[in-house]
Amino acid sequence: METGGSSESPVETKKPKSKTPRKPKESALKQKSPAEFFAENKNIAGFDNPGKSLYTTVRELVENALDSAESISELPVVEITIEEIGKSKFNSMIGLIDRERIDEALYDDFETAKAREKRLAKEARVQEIQAKNAALGKKVKEQVAIKAIKGRGEASFYRVTCKDNGKGMPHDDIPNMFGRVLSGTKYGLKQTRGKFGLGAKMALIWSKMSTGLPIEISSSMKGQNYVSFCRLDIDIHRNIPHIHLHEKRDNKERCHGAEIQVVIEGNWTTYRSKILHYMRQMAVITPYAQFLFSFVSDTSDKNVSIKFARRTDIMPPVPLETKYHPSAVDLLLIKRLIAETSKQNLLQLLQHEFVNIGKAYAERLIGEMGPDFSPKMLVKSLTSQQLVRIHQLFRQAKFDDPSGDCLSPAGEYNLRLGIIKELHPDMVATYSGSAQVFEGHPFIVEAGVSVGGKDVKQGLNIFRFANRIPLLFEQGADVVTRTALKRINWNSYKINQTQDKIGVFVSIVSTKIPFKGTGKEYIGDDISEIASAVKVGLSILKNFSRLLEIYRLTALRLQTSIQQCCIQLKSKIVKKIQAREQQERKRNLSKYIPDATNAIYEVLKEMTHLHASKKRRYEDKDAELLSKVSARLITKDTLREKLAQHVEQVDYEMALEYATQSGVKEEPRENIYLQLLEAEKDFIDFHGPVFVFRLFQ
């Protein structure tokens, strides 16, 4: 959770009711707050239905937690717990008394006499069949309990808790960070995980819509001797936080980080696999983090508890904030930059607010703009026509490509470790491309291909990541999927596309990957009016198509990346096939001995019959053999033994040949990571280029 320069954290929000929000004058024209807009269009943020909402809530909280820990270079430890809350428990939580139904027929799930008759008949039939099966001694699998008919309004509620060891949040900023949609400070140009400008707030809006319960946050920053505790909900109409409790408590353990707890309506049954997939893929792309995921419910057999252990302590660097590339800006953005800049004149603006424009180049650009431009002219005095001219020139002029230095890819090493850690594949290959540019935004594609592994289904398993978060939905149309399916000839790499368990991992990082849902770059922090809210909605759509465009551009890149991985794998696979052949040769060769010898022997036997009955004449040499067969000097077993001997000999020769060819060399082993038993650091590392000097205290 970022707090950088939270300029917008007015203290008066502590008693928000007293202050009327800044509203333009009253008129028939109705206005909506951004919170209202998102409450009504919650699907664009991934809150389409209760199940998806549960999923999105989990991922928003996890991603926030990771960001928070990474921002202080702390190896992330994230605990996420989903607790199922039954209806009566929920009612007692909100202080509602459970009422017995009095008028049964009033309810939607009321069983009419006719329906009951039908049901009883069906149950009787089932029992009859079971009895029959039992009598026949058939093993019947446990009859699935007939599902209770779920009536309308029978919602399931969940308490989602996420605890991290991150940076924590400043005490006074907490209400605004959660209770005001589209507030935040990280709207700069930077590779970021994603939706968190909106995410936690959307979870709060959803909880308010579905349960009415507030969100609870406790947070502590490094070196603080207290824990900030805050219970709040959001005033959707005014887009301001509504605080129930905001206090400082004792921090006995001296830990840092945040714990967020929210009670929402959800659907665990249908989104269970999605959530678990998400956690697993997250563990793949962030092997340096430790995740503890647990699901708790009243029925203990549904409980899930998974620990995704840390596998490395090397973290990718924190992505740097960068300035805009001239070819990446639009008119609106130029206006905003001018409004925000501290630079006085045009020359300084060009030189300092954009990348890849030096002083000399800025002067050339200004010269090109026309006679009514000059280097010393004040930026605030630029007319809209002039801005359009600047924009046009930015579009047409040639600029150096932005460098990928500001990006923080997962890294080949981490990607590889993640794959090994979570999938335990037989083989893995990874590849990292160099930075490429699309519309002024740099991007890096990394890819991995694995073969085999546990819990991997046969065929292609595709794992997509954008800015180091997993993408789970709408896989079919995705270009990664299409590339892997159509443009890669797996056969030529000795990989069987339908039989082998193939994992394809593609990670794209960029300063601008607009996700389906919310694209944060376009949501300015000054937006508080409806007009802009609608624009947000539009830009979201635009972003989505942009994402596809990026993908299309990267398709070729992807193809080469995946192919690179396959080439690496091919030599491994060939070796492996040889080794396997080595092991299985004798078994395979011996397997067919009975079939082959039987067939030959049967023909011989037929011949002896014919020979004996004088139906056919055979040559002397053949006749000799046949008489041996009829005298049982040569039997089925003789042939079998002789062939087995031959196989033995061939096997020995080939093993010898293999050994001389391949030598005793074996595959290089993977380094293993031993987790520290005690996380506490009581030493100092001095890193030299060739050694590490560790000083224990």
Partner 1 sequence: MSDKRKRRRPDPDSDSDTRPFKHLLKPDTTILSSLRTLASSSAAASSSKTLTLSDLRLSAACREVSDLPPSAVQSAIESLAVSLARSILSGQGFSFTVPSRSSANQLYVPELDRIVLKDKTSLRPYSSVSTVRKTTITTRILHLIHQLCLKNIHVTKRDLFYTDVKLFQDQTQSDAVLDDVSCIVGCTRSSLNVVAAEKGVVVGRLIFSDNGDMIDCTKMGMGGKAIPPNIDRVGDMKSDALFILLVEKDAAYMRLAEDRFYNRFPCIIVTAKGQPDVATRLFLRKMKMELKLPVLALVDSDPYGLKILSVYGCGSKNMSYDSANLTTPDIKWLGIRPSDLDKYKIPEQCRLPMTEQDIKTGKDLLEEDFVKKNPGWVEELNLMVKSKQKAEIQALSSFGFQYLSEVYLPLKLQQRDWL
Angle subtended at Cα 631 by Cα 625 and Cα 632, rounded to the nearest 5 degrees: 90
Give the residues lining the site for partner 1 (CB under 8 A): 581, 584-585, 588-589, 591-592, 595-604, 606-607, 616, 618, 622, 625-626, 634, 638-639, 642-643, 645-647, 649-650
Q: Which helix (H) or strand (E) holds 244?
A: strand 240-250
Q: Which helix (H) or strand (E) holds 696?
A: strand 692-696
64 is in an annotated binding site: yes
User: At its nearest, how many Å lie between partner 1 and the CB of residue 616?
Assistant: 8
User: At its nearest, how many Å lie between partner 1 and the CB of residue 595?
Assistant: 5
Q: Which is nearer to partner 1, 231 or 487 (CB)?
A: 487
194 is in an annotated binding site: yes
Angle subtended at Cα 624 by Cα 623 and Cα 628, rounded to the nearest 5 degrees: 110
User: At its nearest, how many Å lie between partner 1 and the CB of residue 374?
Assistant: 57
Read off the tokens for 71: 């921002």
User: At its nearest, how many Å lie between partner 1 and the CB of residue 581?
Assistant: 6
Count how many Cα atoms sit within 13 Å of the Cα of residue 166 in the half-sphere of its side chain.
28
User: At its nearest, how many Å lie between partner 1 and the CB of residue 634?
Assistant: 7
CB 217 within 8 A of CB 258: yes
Q: Which is nearer to partner 1, 413 or 658 (CB)?
A: 658
CA distance 259 to 246: 15
User: At its nearest, how many Å lie between partner 1 and the CB of residue 426?
Assistant: 20
Q: Which is nearer to partner 1, 98 or 602 (CB)?
A: 602
Distance, C-alpha 206 to centroid of its chain: 22
CA distance 579 to 581: 5
Residue type, 127: Q
Q: Which is nearer to partner 1, 128 or 653 (CB)?
A: 653
CB 315 within 8 A of CB 70: yes
User: At its nearest, how many Å lie between partner 1 and the CB of residue 585?
Assistant: 5
37 is in an annotated binding site: no
User: At its nearest, how many Å lie between partner 1 and the CB of residue 452?
Assistant: 21
DSSP-based helix, strand, coil % in the chain, nearest 5: 45, 20, 35
User: At its nearest, how many Å lie between partner 1 and the CB of residue 633?
Assistant: 11
Q: Which is nearer to partner 1, 281 or 597 (CB)?
A: 597
User: At its nearest, how many Å lie between partner 1 and the CB of residue 670?
Assistant: 30
C-alpha distances out from residue 268 to 29, 87, 153, 274, Å: 41, 15, 16, 10
Q: Which residues contact 312 (CB under 8 A, 6 or more apart)?
A: 287, 288, 413, 414, 417, 673
608 is in an annotated binding site: no
Q: Which is nearer to partner 1, 58 or 626 (CB)?
A: 626
* b/e burial code for range 653-678 (CB count within 10 A of at least 16 → b): eeeeeeeeeeeeeeeeeeeebeeeee
CB 290 within 8 A of CB 78: yes
| Spatial CA neighbour of 58 closest among 194, 179, 161, 177 | 161
186 is in an annotated binding site: yes
As a three-state string, the secondary structure of 472-508 is CCCCCCCHHHHHHHHHCCHHHHCCCCCCCEEEEEEEE
User: At its nearest, how many Å lie between partner 1 and the CB of residue 478?
Assistant: 22
Q: Which is nearer to partner 1, 150 or 646 (CB)?
A: 646
203 is in an annotated binding site: no
198 is in an annotated binding site: yes
Q: Which is nearer to partner 1, 94 or 556 (CB)?
A: 556
User: At its nearest, how many Å lie between partner 1 and the CB of residue 573?
Assistant: 16
Residue type, 251: N
CB 261 within 8 A of CB 200: no
C-alpha distances out from residue 180 to 6, 10, 531, Å: 13, 11, 18
As a three-state string, the secondary structure of 333-383 is HHHHHHHHCCCCEHHHHHHHHECCCCHHHHHHHHHHHCCCCCCCCEHHHCC
Strands 459-466 and 501-510: parallel
CA distance 146 to 120: 12
Q: Which is nearer to partner 1, 549 or 581 (CB)?
A: 581
Q: Which is nearer to partner 1, 141 or 617 (CB)?
A: 617
CA distance 595 to 364: 85
Q: Which is nearer to partner 1, 564 or 627 (CB)?
A: 627
Q: Which is nearer to partner 1, 345 or 590 (CB)?
A: 590
Map tokens 């904030």 to a residue.
321
520 is in an annotated binding site: yes
CB 411 within 8 A of CB 447: no
199 is in an annotated binding site: yes
Q: Could you tell me which residues are annotated as the binding site?
A: 64, 164, 185-186, 194-201, 520
Q: Could you tell me which residues are annotated as the binding site for ATP?
A: 64, 164, 185-186, 194-201, 520
